[in-house]
């Protein structure tokens, strides 16, 4: 049941108002062949578009199924077009980039008919119009008459109740026109066919009713509807929707026709992805590499507690910079401004007390691979050189470092820090015997001062045997210091001291060299002495005359001057071997995890201490790794930011390309709308297109980046010897593809919206 009631429609172009329809009222039968006849510009197409729901009327009413359409929403019109109406246009309006089978299927696709049923019905319809042999051709491979048959098949396939044909034979020759008209006449047997034409012969020969139009008004009707006739049967209306799969298929086919452009676009927009993927895979690889390196080589670097610790926290740095920032530069005032000396504030004096060493004794030894309590005790060492002269040896500055205490391993039966980090290349370490251990660097080098210490003559190469045969003597206080009144003085007769029976003979027990994978923390040279040596010396010196005398007086027993801040009585007693409070403590953790346990334990100690009493430790491993981690992160952020610019540029580019595609496909939008596609569906088609491009460019980018990591790894291997550094994290890869899809869809969103907002009539008009 279809009825037009006083329909008016006008178009406004500038100040000019064109009244296309000036109040048209027609009632159609459920089943008849109506020809609308009229000269060009009389409003026929406008009328047809309004009947088909492609265009809106200004006033009046269109009655469908006895219901007014005044309150119809877009969705209702879309459903009506899809189910009730089949359009046949003068210029066929086929979608050019899909096969004619797909063209015919499109209406059913929109109404959600299953693929199998779609194919069967489309083939049936194409058979009916005599095109069954051409179903896989594209529209431009057909003649005009054939294309119009396709359009007819498409109009029929959803089995609509109304067929609207706008000059269907207008572009065809007479012979073909007759064939098409026969076909339409056949259709009109059980449908309402409304055909617009300006050819009176066609109208009279085929139509059952001819309505004449002039200047937007009906001037005659050959077979108007009588009062008693009542259209009881209703048109069927189902809902339509386009699945995202259909949208993808449409877009995919469209993209296929523009392979070159699509590939170029995808490639261009993948460059940003390639850049970011490469940077991430490199930084990722380097991080893993640094991590491994730190785990293996830094894990056993000691936590160091010395008397002077540098304390440099964020707060202090900020304070010092903000303090001077407030002041103007180059002031003219005749004043100077005083600021806190930050370096002094950064220096923290650790007062290592027996309280602290007791606390440290309670640290679970399972965390430790070694520990060294270095004392301030001065070792009095004498050598006998190649010229048979005797020299007092400095234990403070040999080469660049002083003699150090060999760390002891608190866990018997397990490998300690020395075994873990060093190879013994000569002799054997015996912690329980007083002795020396000589450390050589990775090239077996030692400083010439080491030769001097041992009393060996200057030479370029020394054999292990020469070193290990050399004997040094450690002299005790009572033999070394003579007394005169209240003061003590050093004995000058070194030869006599060397041969003194109390003197302790020490030799180089072993020569050690840092293990290859621990080069960063072990590559150096110098002397270490066993704990047994200092134990033995301290044991004897504790009771020495000079110590007893020093305990009883408050002035320096060697210089006869009072103590001050830098030389305290405690330090002096320590130097003489009485006080055994350590001056430095080196704590060697087993690995990275136990290191945290140890630092936690040390932090615990400071919890209830004020600043003066607190013990600050230095964790070299932590410093190095946080530094390298921060630098890596900073570099990564900067590089990713740079590459992101190209990502943004490419999403703008995608936007432009989608916009061009929208312009190119305006006609297709119109066709889809005439077949009942909702504006949402149109948006979907273009979103699907950008989705495909985004996915392609993401996948392409990841693929290329992955391929590029191969030469990148070759170059890195040649430069640094590290293998397989660049590794693309799978999570990063997935994320980047997702970002690529997201950005391109965003870029194409506005053009897709523009497309969906297009007026279907205008879209159909574009060429």
Instruction: Tell the smallest beta-carbon distance from residue 672 to Mg ion (Å).
Output: 21
Instruction: Tell the smallest beta-carbon distance from residue 20 to ligand ADP (Å).
Output: 4
Instruction: Tell the smallest beta-carbon distance from residue 765 to Mg ion (Å).
Output: 10
Instruction: Tell the smallest beta-carbon distance from residue 13 to ligand ADP (Å).
Output: 5
**By beta-carbon distance, which residue lies closest to Mg ion?**
45
d(CA 533, CA 553): 28
Which listed option, ligand ADP, Mg ion, none, makes contact with residue 37 (CB within 5 to 8 Å by class)?
Answer: none
Q: For residues 57 and 586, which CB has a smaller minimum distance to Mg ion in the complex?
A: 57
User: What tokens appear for 155 in the block?
Assistant: 């109009």
Buried b (16+ CB within 10 A) or exposed e, 206-218: bbebbbbbeebeb
Which listed option, ligand ADP, Mg ion, none, makes contact with residue 489 (CB within 5 to 8 Å by class)?
Answer: none
User: What tokens appear for 45 in the block?
Assistant: 């197409």
Which listed option, Mg ion, ligand ADP, none, makes contact with residue 410 (CB within 5 to 8 Å by class)?
Answer: none
Q: For residues 77 and 578, which CB has a smaller minimum distance to ligand ADP in the complex?
A: 77
d(CA 481, CA 385): 23
In the window 27-46, what residues touch ligand ADP (CB under 6 A)?
38, 40-46
Which listed option, Mg ion, ligand ADP, none, makes contact with residue 408 (CB within 5 to 8 Å by class)?
Answer: none
Q: For residues 215 and 616, which CB has a smaller minimum distance to Mg ion in the complex?
A: 215
Instruction: Tell the smallest beta-carbon distance from residue 167 to ligand ADP (Å).
Output: 8
Q: For residues 210 and 602, which CB has a smaller minimum distance to Mg ion in the complex?
A: 210
Q: For residues 14 and 485, which CB has a smaller minimum distance to ligand ADP in the complex?
A: 14
Q: For residues 4 and 242, which CB has a smaller minimum distance to Mg ion in the complex?
A: 4
DSSP 555: B
Site membership for Mg ion, residue 45 (CB under 5 A): yes
Return all residues near 585 (Cβ < 8 A) that are at least 6 apart: 304, 305, 352, 357, 360, 371, 372, 373, 374
Instruction: Tell the smallest beta-carbon distance from residue 75 to ligand ADP (Å).
Output: 24
- What one-character-per-residue DSSP string does 104-155 give? HHHHHHHTT--HHHHHHHHHHHHHHTT-GGGTTS-GGGS-HHHHHHHHHHHH
Instruction: Tell the smallest beta-carbon distance from residue 689 to ligand ADP (Å).
Output: 28
Which listed option, Mg ion, ligand ADP, none, makes contact with residue 299 (CB within 5 to 8 Å by class)?
Answer: none
Instruction: Tell the smallest beta-carbon distance from residue 44 to ligand ADP (Å).
Output: 4
**Can you tell me which residue has the tokens 């390309």?**
657
Which listed option, Mg ion, ligand ADP, none, makes contact with residue 46 (CB within 5 to 8 Å by class)?
Answer: ligand ADP
Q: For residues 49 and 744, which CB has a smaller minimum distance to ligand ADP in the complex?
A: 49
Q: Where are the beta strands (DSSP E) in 283-421?
A: 303-306, 308-310, 347-349, 368-375, 380-384, 390-393, 404-405
Beta bridge partners of 308: 349
Instruction: Tell the smallest beta-carbon distance from residue 107 to Mg ion (Å).
Output: 23
Instruction: Tell the smallest beta-carbon distance from residue 218 to ligand ADP (Å).
Output: 12
Which listed option, ligand ADP, Mg ion, none, makes contact with residue 38 (CB within 5 to 8 Å by class)?
Answer: ligand ADP
Instruction: Tell the smallest beta-carbon distance from residue 667 to Mg ion (Å).
Output: 17
Phi then psi dihedrals of residue 482, to 5 deg: -90, 160
Cα first-last separation, the chain: 34
Which listed option, Mg ion, ligand ADP, none, makes contact with residue 60 (CB within 5 to 8 Å by class)?
Answer: none
Question: Which residue, 627, 602, 597, is CA-closest to 617?
Answer: 602
x/- binding map, residues 4-23, to ligand ADP, per CB under 6 A? -------x-x----x-x---
Tell how strand 422-427 and strand 162-166 pair up: unpaired
Q: For residues 214 and 540, which CB has a smaller minimum distance to ligand ADP in the complex?
A: 214
Q: For residues 164 and 688, which CB has a smaller minimum distance to ligand ADP in the complex?
A: 164
Which listed option, Mg ion, ligand ADP, none, makes contact with residue 41 (CB within 5 to 8 Å by class)?
Answer: ligand ADP
Which listed option, ligand ADP, Mg ion, none, makes contact with residue 461 (CB within 5 to 8 Å by class)?
Answer: none
Q: For residues 20 and 184, which CB has a smaller minimum distance to ligand ADP in the complex?
A: 20
DSSP 295: I
d(CA 255, CA 262): 7
In the window 141-180, what residues touch Mg ion (CB under 5 A)?
none
The total of other beta-carbon atoms located within 10 Å of residue 369's CB is 26
Q: For residues 45 and 651, which CB has a smaller minimum distance to ligand ADP in the complex?
A: 45
d(CA 134, CA 140): 12
**Can you tell me which residue has the tokens 């330090």?**
571
Q: What sign does the dihedral 311-316-317-321 (CA atoms) show?
A: negative
Which listed option, Mg ion, ligand ADP, none, makes contact with residue 11 (CB within 5 to 8 Å by class)?
Answer: ligand ADP
* Residue 319 zone, left/alpha/beta (φ > 0; ψ -120 to 50; rest): alpha
Instruction: Tell the smallest beta-carbon distance from residue 760 to ligand ADP (Å).
Output: 12
Q: For residues 202 and 726, which CB has a smaller minimum distance to ligand ADP in the complex?
A: 202
d(CA 767, CA 755): 15
The total of other beta-carbon atoms located within 10 Å of residue 552's CB is 9
d(CA 727, CA 603): 38
Which listed option, ligand ADP, Mg ion, none, makes contact with residue 434 (CB within 5 to 8 Å by class)?
Answer: none
Instruction: Tell the smallest beta-carbon distance from residue 212 to Mg ion (Å).
Output: 15
Q: For residues 97 and 218, which CB has a smaller minimum distance to Mg ion in the complex?
A: 218
- What one-character-per-residue DSSP string does 629-654 give? HHHHHHHHHHHHHHHHHHHHHHHHHH
SS3 at position 571: helix
Q: For residues 55 and 102, which CB has a smaller minimum distance to ligand ADP in the complex?
A: 55
User: What tokens appear for 111 in the block?
Assistant: 């109404």
User: 759, 667 in Cβ contact below 8 A?
Assistant: no
SS3 at position 192: strand
Instruction: Tell the smallest beta-carbon distance from residue 49 to ligand ADP (Å).
Output: 8
Q: Site size for ligand ADP, by CB under 6 A?
A: 12
Instruction: Tell the smallest beta-carbon distance from residue 767 to Mg ion (Å).
Output: 15
| Longest Cα separation, the chain | 151
In the window 45-104, what residues touch ligand ADP (CB under 6 A)?
45-46
Which listed option, ligand ADP, Mg ion, none, makes contact with residue 274 (CB within 5 to 8 Å by class)?
Answer: none
DSSP 301: P
Q: For residues 139 and 760, which CB has a smaller minimum distance to ligand ADP in the complex?
A: 760
d(CA 448, CA 463): 14
Instruction: Tell the smallest beta-carbon distance from residue 7 to ligand ADP (Å).
Output: 12
Q: Which stretch binds Mg ion (CB under 5 A): 41-49, 55-63, 92-100, 577-585?
A: 41-49
Whole-number Cα distances in Å, 27 to 1, 35, 42, 187, 193: 8, 14, 19, 20, 13
Q: Which stretch binds Mg ion (CB under 5 A): 44-52, 345-353, 369-377, 472-480?
A: 44-52
Radius of gyration of the chain (CA): 48
d(CA 31, CA 49): 19
Q: For residues 190 and 762, which CB has a smaller minimum distance to ligand ADP in the complex?
A: 762
Which listed option, Mg ion, ligand ADP, none, makes contact with residue 169 (CB within 5 to 8 Å by class)?
Answer: none
Sites of contact with ligand ADP (CB under 6 A):
11, 13, 18, 20, 38, 40-46
Sites of contact with Mg ion (CB under 5 A):
45
């Amino acid at each position: 049941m279809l009825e037009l009631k006083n329909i008016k429609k006008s178009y406004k172009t500038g100040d000019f108002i064109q009244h296309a329809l000036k109040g048209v009222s027609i009632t159609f039968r459920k089943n008849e062949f109506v020809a609308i006849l009229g000269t060009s510009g009389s409003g026929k197409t406008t009328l047809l578009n309004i009947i088909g729901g492609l265009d809106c009327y200004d006033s009046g009413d269109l009655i469908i199924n006895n219901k007014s359409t005044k309150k119809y929403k877009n969705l209702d019109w879309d459903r009506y077009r899809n189910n009730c109406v089949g359009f046949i246009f003068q210029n066929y309006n086929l979608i050019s980039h899909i096969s004619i089978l797909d063209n015919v299927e499109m209406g059913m696709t929109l109404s959600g008919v299953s693929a199998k049923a779609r194919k069967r019905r489309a083939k049936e319809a194409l058979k009916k119009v005599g095109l069954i042999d051409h179903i896989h051709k594209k529209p431009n491979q057909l003649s005009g008459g054939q294309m119009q048959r396709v359009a007819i098949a498409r109009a029929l396939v959803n089995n609509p109740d109304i067929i609207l044909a706008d000059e269907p034979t207008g572009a065809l020759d007479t012979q073909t026109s007759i064939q098409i008209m026969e076909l339409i006449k056949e259709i009109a047997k059980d449908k309402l066919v409304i055909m617009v034409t300006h050819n009176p012969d066609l109208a009279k020969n085929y139509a059952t009713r001819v309505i004449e139009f002039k200047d937007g008004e009906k001037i005659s009707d050959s077979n108007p509807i009588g009062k008693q006739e009542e259209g009881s049967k209703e048109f069927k209306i189902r809902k339509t929707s386009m699945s995202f799969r259909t949208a993808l298929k449409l877009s995919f086919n469209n993209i296929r026709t523009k392979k070159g452009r699509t590939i170029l676009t995808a490639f261009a927009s993948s460059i940003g992805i390639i850049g970011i993927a490469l940077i991430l895979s490199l930084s990722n690889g380097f991080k893993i590499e640094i991590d491994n390196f730190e785990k293996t080589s830094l894990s056993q670097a000691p936590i160091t507690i010395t008397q002077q610790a540098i304390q440099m926290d964020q707060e202090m740095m900020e304070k010092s910079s903000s303090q001077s920032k407030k002041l103007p530069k180059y002031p003219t005032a005749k004043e100077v401004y005083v600021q806190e000396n930050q370096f002094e504030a950064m220096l923290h004096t650790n007062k290592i007390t027996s309280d602290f060493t007791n606390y440290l004794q309670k640290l679970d030894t399972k965390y430790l691979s070694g520990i060294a309590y270095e004392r301030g005790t001065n070792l009095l060492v004498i050598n006998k050189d190649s010229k048979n002269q005797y020299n007092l040896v400095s234990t403070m500055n040999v080469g660049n470092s002083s003699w150090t205490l060999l760390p002891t391993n608190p866990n018997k039966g397990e490998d300690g820090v020395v075994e873990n980090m060093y190879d013994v290349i000569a002799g054997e370490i015996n912690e329980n015997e007083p002795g020396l251990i000589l450390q050589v660097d990775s090239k077996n080098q030692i400083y010439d001062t080491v030769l001097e210490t041992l009393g060996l003559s200057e030479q370029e190469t020394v054999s292990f045997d020469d070193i290990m045969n050399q004997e040094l003597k450690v002299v005790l206080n009572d033999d070394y210091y003579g007394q005169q009144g209240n003061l003590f003085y050093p004995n000058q007769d070194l030869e006599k001291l060397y041969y003194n029976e109390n003197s302790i003979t020490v030799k180089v027990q072993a020569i050690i060299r840092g293990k290859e994978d621990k080069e960063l923390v072990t590559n150096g040279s110098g002397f270490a002495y066993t704990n047994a040596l200092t134990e033995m010396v301290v044991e004897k010196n504790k009771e020495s005359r000079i110590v007893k005398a020093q305990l009883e007086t408050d002035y320096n027993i060697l210089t006869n001057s009072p103590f001050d801040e830098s030389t305290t009585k405690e330090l002096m007693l320590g130097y003489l071997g009485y006080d055994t409070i350590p001056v430095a403590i080196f704590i060697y953790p087993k690995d990275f995890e136990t290191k945290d346990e140890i630092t936690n334990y040390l932090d615990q100690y400071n919890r209830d201490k004020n600043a003066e009493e607190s013990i600050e430790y230095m964790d070299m491993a932590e410093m190095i790794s946080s530094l390298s981690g921060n630098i890596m992160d900073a570099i990564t952020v900067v590089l990713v930011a740079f590459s992101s610019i190209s990502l943004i540029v490419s999403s703008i580019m995608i936007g432009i390309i989608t916009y061009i595609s929208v312009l190119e496909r305006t006609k297709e939008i119109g066709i889809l709308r005439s077949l009942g596609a909702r504006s949402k569906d149109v948006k979907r088609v273009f979103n699907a297109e950008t989705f495909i491009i985004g996915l392609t460019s993401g996948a392409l980018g990841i693929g290329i980046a992955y391929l590029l990591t191969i030469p990148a790894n070759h170059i890195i291997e040649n430069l640094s010897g590290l293998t397989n550094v660049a590794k693309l994290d799978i999570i990063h890869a997935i994320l980047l593809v997702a970002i690529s899809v997201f950005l391109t869809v965003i870029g194409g969103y506005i053009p897709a919206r523009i497309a969906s907002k297009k007026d279907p009539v205008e879209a159909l008009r574009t060429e």
